Chains A and B, each alone.
Chain A
């Protein structure tokens, strides 16, 4: 191995990719996306506060008004009704006591835009009270559900008060019983919250791994084909060993990918810092801080090795064709393999301890996803993890070596598949 050659090829591949406008735009858009996702909840809250429905309550006998929240907390609501085209009847209800019973005046206020709706309470007490909602338009589902819930809550409290039960007593009535979960004697129980977060995180990381391999693997294949179609490989093979060339290419493309991810992670962390507690990031309920460092470390290892393995395969397949149009058809079978691996890992996500998951996790193609799932969600022995990593690394190197052979033989086989004899001869002479 000529490390100077590898270094030069890595540098070229990296700079050629990172400098491309598409890469820069994609990365920047990604950063914006992350920031936007993180601030979306806050932003929605802001929007809600502004557009809270102002409701005047006409309740001269004070039957129910004391039990209504003067300003309901603006709970985030599902999208459809919170769109800007119906701002007045969106979310959040802002109750105020009407200073007049004259419905003409109140209606005028609604027309003037000073008020959104008013509720008229009729009756002597909470038992026989009836409620009428007046507004310009029929309220949306969310608003009417909220309204009904608030009114019935207030109504119950009013009735309880009439029965002589204090608000504090009423509070205890509605407190649910506490249920604690304990491990059996001598056992340990994975923290429920952490477990679910791990599953969610593993799922996110799985998709990340899958997408990365597909995206950058194809780029490696395209890079190889570019060298064949531009015929520069004829010069390259006179100067560089194909193994060094392919190693450099795979590493360079991988580093470009890592740069992109690195920037996104930094953006994510900055957002976490600025948004205070990490709990509400992106609304996914993921608390990164609660994920064990070991899981993240395992992810990094399996991520990198998994990429190297599949990238080597893509490089080898790319070496078989000479035109970029053929890349998709020649890498198609590998994509199917990837989908298969992905489906198995979705199963493994729910059953990390299944026997066949255990066995498959030692096969290099499956290792990046399955062993990672096992590390994150189960308790594989250390030797198992180490063995799988060694096998995966060896597999990646071996496949790169094979790919280099194909590349070397394929140099002059434009449009033809390399023959067995050519491969054999080159294996002997190189």
Chain B
């Protein structure tokens, strides 16, 4: 599919709202997905990510608001411009892999011979060269998902919408999928994917929109968001003590007057958020003085995607973080404690 460069506004959502039987799934949602970006739509389970994607694809119609792709209402855009990886994976399980891919590509207007060629090429690329004549149901879950991904990208759509593409993939296949998506992006295509595993997608997306309970928390260029947060993190690690993890108790107690936020405490390391008026040097001095062993690592860092998300949720909906942590709907969500 040739990429039309005449209008580059990308995907624009304005004031989108969707209600299901009095439950508001998405409320006044607006964000811009620039063309050619790798866009992460992030939020906990049930935040409204899938509903948003479905509205972009016109599987659901919004109750209010507009969705446009390069200035054209998304409903009117030729379907072959879109590729979709649904959250609930769906394939004809009793069909052969090759037949299935050729059939689905055909529905997007790719002629049989061409679809055949592409399917062969891509299956080979993803290490499924021998799967052509096997039924989908005979494949492992991970391989089924690869086929599902191919079903979404084989017709070379301009905009790919992927709902939790990395869930259920092992590290090797995650890598393969990442490379595949980056390759598509390098061709100038736009990829929107949703995820609730923020730490997993941090290095993948360049743009993000974070939503919580159907509402937008923030959106934009990831590096920009990190910078704008103005937060500084410090990571501190100690040497092991005779092969045992060092005892951080005395050290942590010594920090009480500094009122630092402890983001993550492991056996031999701690991640802090610096508060105003406390200099990193001060912290290092404390570590040298009260630390159980020598300092192994001392590092200033940007806040992680997850940290940005959690503090944004905390600002918008103070009780929510604890709830998310209890429900386990957002891995890594935890209530911050003062050190």
Contacts and interface: CB of A to CB of B under 8 A. Distances in A.
Interface in B103-131: 103-104, 106-109
Contacts of B60: 412
A240 B80 CA distance: 10
Given A230-B91, A235-B90, A238-B82, A425 B61 contact: yes
B79 A238 contact: yes
Contact of B90 (A5, A16, A230): A230
Interface string A397-423: 000000000000001100000010000
Secondary structure class of chain A's binding surface, majority of residues: helix
Contact of A232 (B54, B92, B108, B109): B92
Interface range, B side: 20 to 34
Q: Point out which of A231, A234, A412, A429 has the most chain B C-beta atoms below 10 A from its C-beta.
A: A234
Contacts of B296: none
Contacts of B91: 230, 232
Contacts of A207: none
A354 B255 CA distance: 100
A230 B90 CA distance: 5
B141 interface: no
Contacts of A226: 92
A411 B58 CA distance: 12
Contact of A429 (B75, B104, B106): B75
B103 A12 contact: yes
B79 A8 contact: no
Given A231-B86, A412-B59, A240 B92 contact: no
A239 interface: yes
A236 B92 CA distance: 11
Interface string A215-237: 00000000000110011111111
Nearest to B161: A238
Interface in A28-81: none
A265 interface: no
A234 B61 contact: no
Nearest to A237: B59
B183 interface: no
Contacts of A230: 90-93
Nearest to B88: A231
A235 B151 CA distance: 9
Contacts of B80: 239
Contacts of B151: 235
A426 interface: yes
B138 to A, nearest CB: 15
B83 to A, nearest CB: 9
A150 B175 CA distance: 93
A5 B82 CA distance: 17
A235 B106 CA distance: 13
A426 B61 contact: yes
Nearest to A12: B103
Interface in A192-231: 226-227, 230-231
B193 interface: no
Given A8-B103, A8-B106, A12-B103, A235 B84 contact: yes
Contacts of A412: 54, 59-60
A238 B59 contact: yes
9 contacts: A5-B107, A233-B90, A234-B86, A235-B86, A235-B151, A238-B79, A238-B84, A239-B107, A419-B21
Given A232-B92, A234-B88, A411-B59, 6 more contacts: A8-B103, A231-B86, A235-B90, A238-B58, A239-B80, A239-B104
